[in-house]
């Protein structure tokens, strides 16, 4: 895979899966822009991205659910890098509860940060890709969006929505040489899953045919493949990287 001269944008690139994705591109020599809401981790991860070999690095504080902030971020990335080849919509949150107990606010927060964000980022970052007549958009959905999950009505709806957005984006921009695919992780070791606690995680592991939780690199490696020229004939697809949870 030759990703050396590519420019990449990763939302939520300051920690967890997004950080692993940003570092994986940096190790290939790509220019990497990350965004998130925490300025401290953004600074730390941007410095690490540069240390491991990125051609250039940029870390901006952006709430990806706000269009004015997404628009300003697009301008900054284009000023710094001159082009955008790859967009990874990874930022996401959970606010779990049973449907009957779920508040309207928790529904809206999760839909806005997990789904509306990908719409806004795609809308603004696809423009330079259209001009270049090539590009890669990769959305991080979830097995919850594929098969539903009790206690996650908001999260599963947002992730299922991302799958619809992925397929539509693939259809709308295929003629411009832009592909759009989604990755549905199962249980991956990050802050998001460690919040579940040891007992719940042990129970969850019994539902994974391969018998262990995935690592952030499992997702990052799949992103690199979708971003590469080797994946040029794949668009509108969802691949589960989940130890066999969805078979």
* Sheet strands (E) in 51-195: 57-61, 86-89, 135-140, 178-185
Considering only 61-69, 79-87, 100-108, 170-178, which stretch makes contact with ligand NDP by CB under 6 A?
Answer: 61-69
The single-letter DSSP state of residue 133 is: T
15 or 136: CB nearest ligand NDP: 15
128 or 185: CB nearest ligand NDP: 185
For residue 127, with 0-12 CB atoms within 10 Å meaning exposed, 13-18 middle and 19 or more buried, which class applies? middle
Alpha carbons 173 and 133: distance in angstroms, whole number: 9
Active site residue 155: yes
Considering only 71-79, 91-99, 122-130, 233-241, which stretch makes contact with ligand NDP by CB under 6 A?
Answer: 91-99
Closest-CA residue to 182 (of 154, 161, 163, 157): 163
Helix/strand/coil for 89: strand
Residues of this chain, 180-219, that bind ligand NDP according to CB under 6 A: 185, 187-188, 190-193
Q: Kindly determine how many residues on this chain lie close enough to bind ligand NDP according to the rule CB under 6 A.
A: 30
Please select the residue that binds ligand NDP; options are 11, 122, 179, 181, rule is CB under 6 A: 11
Indicate which residue of 25, 107, 119, 155 is catalytic.
Answer: 155
Closest-CA residue to 125 (of 111, 108, 139): 139
52 or 111: CB nearest ligand NDP: 111
Is position 124 an interface residue for ligand NDP (rule: CB under 6 A)? no
74 or 142: CB nearest ligand NDP: 142
Closest-CA residue to 65 (of 109, 107, 95): 109
* Token reading at 226: 């979708």
**Residue owning tokens 């579940």:** 196
CB 37 to ligand NDP: min, Å: 4
The binding site for ligand NDP (CB under 6 A) comprises 11-12, 14-18, 35-38, 41, 62-65, 90-93, 113, 140, 142, 185, 187-188, 190-193
Enumerate the active-site residues: 155
């Amino acid at each position: 895979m030759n990703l050396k001269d590519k420019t990449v944008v990763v939302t939520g690139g300051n920690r967890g899966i997004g950080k692993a994705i940003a570092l994986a591109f940096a190790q290939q020599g790509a220019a990497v822009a990350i965004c998130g809401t925490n300025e401290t981790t953004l600074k730390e991860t941007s410095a690490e991205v540069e240390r491991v070999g990125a051609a250039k690095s940029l870390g901006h504080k952006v709430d990806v659910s706000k269009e004015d902030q997404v628009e300003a971020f697009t301008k900054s990335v284009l000023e710094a890098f001159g082009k955008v080849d790859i967009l990874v919509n990874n930022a996401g949150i959970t606010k779990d509860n049973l449907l009957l107990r779920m508040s309207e606010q928790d529904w809206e927060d999760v839909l806005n940060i997990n789904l509306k964000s990908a719409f806004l980022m795609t809308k603004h970052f696809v423009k330079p890709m259209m001009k270049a007549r090539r590009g890669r958009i990769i959305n991080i959905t979830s097995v919850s969006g594929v098969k539903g999950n009790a206690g996650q009505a908001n999260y599963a709806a947002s992730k299922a929505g991302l799958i619809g957005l992925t397929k539509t984006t693939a259809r709308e921009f295929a003629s411009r040489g832009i592909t759009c695919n989604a990755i549905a992780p199962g249980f991956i070791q990050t802050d998001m899953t460690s919040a579940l606690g040891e007992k719940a995680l042990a129970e969850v592991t019994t539902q994974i045919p391969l018998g262990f939780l995935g690592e952030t690199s499992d997702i990052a490696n799949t992103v690199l493949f979708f971003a590469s020229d080797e994946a040029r004939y794949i668009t509108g697809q969802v691949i589960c990287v989940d130890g066999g949870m969805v078979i």
